[in-house]
Amino acid sequence: MREGRIVRQTSGFYYVDCGGEVFSCRARGLFRKEGVTPLVGDLVRMEETEPGCGFVVEILPRRNNLIRPPVANVDLLLLILSIADPAPNLTVVDKLLAIAEYKGIDVSIVVTKSDLADPSGLCRIYREAGYPVAALNSLSDSPDAIREMIRGKLCVLAGNTGVGKSTLLNAMEPSLTLRTGETSRKLGRGRHTTRVTELFELAGGMIADTPGFSALETAQFERIRKEELELCFREFEPYRTGCRFTGCSHTKEKGCGVLAAVERGEIPLSRHKSYCEMYEEARQIKDWEVVG
Ligand SMILES: Nc1nc2c(ncn2[C@@H]2O[C@H](COP(=O)(O)OP(=O)(O)OP(=O)(O)O)[C@@H](O)[C@H]2O)c(=O)[nH]1
Ligand SMILES: [Zn+2]
């Protein structure tokens, strides 16, 4: 029996890295019966049945997992958005941030295309909320600040098409884009083909490359109960205990501490708007739809 991490998953096969030696494995039927699927990022026990091949027999406890992209034990969600071309969709950004809070995953934000428009207003919103933010022109600036964000962590990259993910990866490690490009071409990016999820080593950390997942899709597939939503907006913390009514939803109540902070400009309007939108969506959710 050996322990390792699943670094790649493709149609029924799991590639388990045990200290640099990679085994191609199938999963024990047991998992199917229990309704669990091994995920890329999982730490597992495996049994070698013939040289280089075997079975995943046990999934070690997960710290967290995302549904789309399907990755477990995520240390960092690296959220990439561009200040222009395409313009950032703050509702999607705030949804992803809330989901990450809910699951206990750290987030760092990278704002690309800083040569096309001034990113300082956008950066301020998220820095003041408590997130690390880096802005750059990926075509000419050094990506060292991004390397620092990734170091030692298992990262999932989230960002919509055209924000400059490949450009950024290419700036950090040219050979990586080459490989991801090959994967995407083979599978037909964006089409409904079987998706390969794979971990790549980068900057002393690991990046999950998940072609075809948009930030919006990631946001849509996760659910948060409305009672827990206020905990997922970091900057509400000092205000949400100052509400007149217990069980205040912070959307329209009189004497709401959060609303008062929004009025005073201490909580950005865009963040509160995203909160209200998510709260309204959460009111429609049935308990059985909430996962994890
Ligand atoms: N001006 C400017 N252009 C950039 C920057 N970063 C990327 N681009 C350009 O934006 C376009 C899209 O970049 P990509 O790296 O392909 O974007 P992507 O996020 O990988 O897009 P998908 O592959 O569709 O997911 C390309 O034409 C890049 O040259 C930047 O910082 N400044
Ligand atoms: Zn309130």
Query: Could you give the dihedral angle defined by the CA atoms of residues 18, 199, 70 and 223, in that order, rounded to the nearest 10 degrees?
Result: 110
Distance CA 267, CA 250 (A): 12
**Is the C-beta atom of 269 inside 6 A of ligand 1?**
no
Q: What's the CA-to-centroid distance between 181 and ligand 1, angstroms?
A: 14
> Region 61-71: what's the mean pLDDT?
90
Q: Are 291 and 223 in contact (CB under 8 A)?
A: yes
Shortest-distance Cα residue to atom 12 of ligand 1: 162
Task: State residue 123's pLDDT score.
Answer: 98
Average pLDDT, the chain: 88
Is the pLDDT reported for residue 262 higher than 80?
Answer: yes
Q: Does the annotation list 162 as a binding residue?
A: yes
- Residue in 78, 166, 183, 214 to alter for ligand 1 test, most ligand atoms within 8 A of Cβ: 166
DSSP 160: -
**Is the C-beta atom of 165 inside 6 A of ligand 1?**
yes
Nearest to 79 by CA among 62, 63, 100: 100
Q: Helices 269-283 and 90-103 sit at what angle, rounded to 10 degrees?
A: 70
Q: Does the annotation list 160 as a binding residue?
A: yes
> Region 264-284: what's the mean pLDDT?
95
- Using 50, 70 and 90 to split pLDDT, how confident is the model at 183? very low
Question: Domains in the chain, ordered, with CATH?
Answer: 2-59 (2.40.50.140), 65-218 (3.40.50.300), 224-289 (1.10.40.50)
> Region 34-42: what's the mean pLDDT?
91
Task: State residue 205's pLDDT score.
Answer: 95
Residue 106, φ and ψ in degrees, nearest 5: -70, 155
Distance CA 270, CA 212 (A): 28
Beta partners for 265?
A: none
Given the cut 0.90, state whether the ipTM is greater than it.
yes
Shortest-distance Cα residue to atom 6 of ligand 1: 164
**What ligand has the least distance to the C-alpha of 241?**
2
Place of tokens 């669990």: 36
Nearest to 123 by CA among 167, 92, 71, 83: 83
Residues 6+ apart with CB under 8 A from 277: 91
- Where would I find the H helices in the chain? 29-34, 90-103, 120-129, 144-150, 165-172, 174-187, 215-220, 226-229, 257-263, 269-283
Place of tokens 């956008």: 122
Task: State residue 67's pLDDT score.
Answer: 83
**Is the C-beta atom of 164 inside 6 A of ligand 1?**
yes
- pTM for the model stands at 0.89
> Region 155-162: what's the mean pLDDT?
89
